[in-house]
Structure 1
């Protein structure tokens, strides 16, 4: 895999401005309505776990519920959502699949389930329709590194200022342990996220490849010089990136704030890591169901032999720094088009991700 090495030049100032606007935009939209009616760092009712074998404890189906796990002596919080159908089960999470949704930089665990969650809100409908448990962990504070707060980020192996320094892999491992102890199907745990949440999904797939059944990363590429290593085994990977994503373009060209590879290099990495053929078994344009959105999607699927895992690449032609969505707007999208580009409206990103996960053996 090739990576850009020039980290200087005129794009540095441009991207610094873009990054500042990105942080400001996400900060203004990250609080929103608190869907759990309480502090996400408070492990209070309902559900202080009484059984040490089940650290998640009671979860009220159909309601996002705040929980915590302890990582190296520190409480880390997450929000869990069990579908309403789970209320009919004695052990509510038993046998269900789970999708872990990682928020973006300057957001928090409330964001995916709130009215500022954009396209991620579709996961709530999917959870109810398909019987899926959702988990939204809280990253570490962008400035202080604290596990408490609303302006959070993820440690994605990068050296950039927006890459956190917390042991987030240990945090995810603790969540995985808790989910399995609560009865979640250990063979059907997936992750997804946009922007920094997508980048962290890459890291989770690399470092926890034996425990993750698949990932869907949106508006995200791998870091330049990342030290995450290589996955022990292939991980089914879905990548959805816009060709006119100002954040990815500027960061790749400049490397001043978030040194990253490009989309093509990221796809190439996963094709090689997953043992897939570099020639797609499927390639074609999806229907342009919304001609007014200024973008189209070309979908390519790469597969290999028995010991490989597929790579599904959605190239969003003309698309910006968004999860594609037919029904969910990015907050103040029209104001921030110069920074983020255009949002594709041809597909529902979360449903494409779930269709990918559901298709896996």
Structure 2
């Protein structure tokens, strides 16, 4: 399902947001609070559904719920979704962005590794990098990517974990891994203002500088934060969220992912080669000033799986 609010025309910037394991797109939409950022910044937010409400995210099968469920071809689905949004006049092909939480965050990393030419930038919330990515992740270009993670996350631990069937890196090592892929140099660190001293958490930002093609990497660490995305807007969390740890209110995940990702766009597609066999320049991401764009009107519904947009 796709819903486009009236008064907005496309093609527009689009953020595709991937839910966590066993979470419906509707539940994720109500919990995440991305709609508020979409309304304020005039982009389209799309909430697709993974087959069986999980994503085939590239981790070893034994480490994820897909091991016991029918394995969907989620990567091909997300590429087809992006192309359909462009074909329907909803999305600006240079400004399609991908974000996700937990299982959805791992799926974002898989797409960054395998389909770097489809999405302009990526953001990962409450997920780290699978250790196998060190051998298997070879993006076609430097990929801008943001990580947001809580140090007290008991579901996907901030420090990473090891099992006999696979392992994940820590959140800092995950960001550093992509910084190395992007050829970044030094990093800088700063503490963000503690705007809500009663939420029990604070935020530290670490950003990598001097990256190839300007493809920056940033890690927002939520000190004492649990397995929850930060939010400053009103949301409708699931009943289970009180058991996931503290939720930060100093920053808003929707605004942070948009602030980071919207600074990037894909370069225009290269024209066809003049002669058969001639090389085509790879697609690159470029930094650009923030721009506003109108959202599309009317309804266009992809043929595969449910989704809703704002």
Shorter-normalised TM-score: what interval?
Answer: 0.7 to 0.9
What is the SS of the residue equivalent to 1:112? helix
Contact 1:102 1:137 in 2 (8 A): yes
Bigger relative contact order (CA 8 A; separation at least 6):
2
Q: Which residue of 2 aligns with 1:286?
A: 192
Q: For the residues of structure 2 that align with 1:263 and 1:251, how far apart are their CA atoms?
A: 6
**Aligned positions, number:** 257
CA RMSD of aligned residues (A): 2.2
Q: Residues 198 and 106 from structure 1, CA distance in 2 versus in 1: closer, same or farther, beyond 3 angstroms? A: same
Tell me if the contact between 1:192 and 1:198 (Cα under 8 Å) persists in the aligned partners: yes
Q: Per the alignment, in what secondary structure is the counterpart of residue 84 of structure 1?
A: coil
Decide which moves more: 265-274 or 303-312.
Answer: 303-312
- Residue in structure 2 matching 1:197, options 104, 107, 110: 104
Preserved contact between residue 322 and residue 330 of structure 1 (Cα < 8 Å): no
**Normalising by structure 1, what TM-score?**
0.66
* Counterpart among 225, 230, 238 of residue 132 in structure 2: 225
- TM superposition shift of 1:252: 3.2
1:167 aligned residue (69, 73, 91): 73
Q: Does structure 1 retain, via aligned residues, the 8 Å contact 2:149–2:222?
A: yes
CA positional deviation for 1:109: 2.5
Task: Please point out which of 240, 252, 257 is paired with 2:160.
Answer: 252
CA contact under 8 A between 1:293 and 1:342: conserved in structure 2? Answer: yes
Verify: 1:134 aligned to 2:50, yes or no: no
Q: What residue is the counterpart of 1:209 in the other structure?
A: 116
Please tell me whether residue 85 in structure 1 is matched to residue 1 in structure 2. no
CA 1:125–1:326 in structure 2 vs 1: closer, same or farther (change >3 Å)? closer
Quickly say closer, same or farther: Cα 1:168–1:216, change in 2 above 3 A: same
Instruction: State the partner residue of 1:322.
Output: 228
CA separation of 1:326/1:256 partners in 2, compared to 1, >3 Å: closer, same or farther?
Answer: farther
- Mapping for residues 15-34 of structure 1, pairs under 5 Å: none
* Structure 1 residues without counterparts, runs of 5 or longer: 1-65, 67-79, 142-151
Q: TM-score normalized by structure 2?
A: 0.76
Which residue does the alignment assign to 1:355?
A: 259
**Structure 2 unaligned runs (5+)?**
265-287, 289-310
CA displacement 1:72-114 (0-9 Å, x = unmatched): xxxxxxxx3424322xx4xxxx32010001010001222233x
Q: CA separation in 1, counterparts of 2:166 and 2:218?
A: 24
Q: What residue is the counterpart of 1:101 in the other structure?
A: 17
Residues 161 and 257 in structure 1, CA contact (< 8 A), matched pair in contact too: no
**Displacement of 1:251:** 8.8
